[in-house]
Amino acid sequence: MLKGKTALVTGSTSGIGLGIAKALAAQGANIVLNGFGDVDGPKAEVSALGVKVAYHGADMSKPAEIEDMMKYAAAQFGRVDILVNNAGIQHVARIENFPVERWDAIIAINMSSAFHATRLALPAMKAADWGRIINVASIHGLVGSAEKSAYVAAKHGVVGLTKVTALENATTGVTCNAICPGWVLTPLVQKQVDAKAAAQGISNEEATKQLLGEKEPSMQFTTPDELGALAVFFCSPAGNNVRGVAWNMDGGWTAQ
């Protein structure tokens, strides 16, 4: 379905970003990966799906590096048809104890990077009269949680940016939507499970039940594969008039 298209997925060397990149690649899209850590493994996983894969290591807190990444993607594949703004970091602390530099970094990487990548992708998408911008927000773009002030503020901002981007391009072939996952078993979340188990002297299984039981009525994690399938839907003809939504995949979290 996406043969001949190019998707750039930020923060895609693991977890949700890699899951979405692989789902788009399975539909034929060439992929530009971005992120830290192991690069060869994710490149091999995506390339095994029969598409071309490139990588750019832009630090998503730096607008100049984001600009360089977008130029690189255009040089490699012509233009970015599908932009998935997924890069994100987390820090947990009460507001009065929240380190100012962590606040600044979270706002820069989780929210401002989506603005910069979007503004740079839009001209070519509008010229082609086809484009898909998918912002990976979070359930925390819709509700709050204590001790996550920067993350919740950034993700609410991403949902707002999604709506404005969709409205400004409503008469074009360019759509913008947000995905709002609840708990997803990524390496970052596994660390939280491990920490909870260690702190309380309980099994990993019990720690997982506690984590899910606090918020997620389904008592199961959303998977990167499921999120990837939703991204594919947004890119399909059925998604042509889906514009400006914040689509929660949260096991009933916000239904309570």
Alpha carbons 59 and 44: distance in angstroms, whole number? 22
Alpha carbons 16 and 33: distance in angstroms, whole number? 12
For residue 151, indicate whether it is catalytic. yes
Question: Which one is catalytic: 151, 221, 234, 253?
Answer: 151
Whether the CB-CB separation of 247 and 141 falls below 8 Å is answered with: no
Exposure of 17 by Cβ count < 10 A (0-12 exposed, 13-18 middle, 19+ buried)? buried
| Residues in the chain, total | 256
Within 13 A of 23's CA, how many CA atoms are on the CB side?
A: 24
Residue 255 tokens read as: 């239904």
E-strand ranges in 104-183 read 131-136, 174-181
Question: Where in the sequence numbering do the catalytic residues fall?
Answer: 151
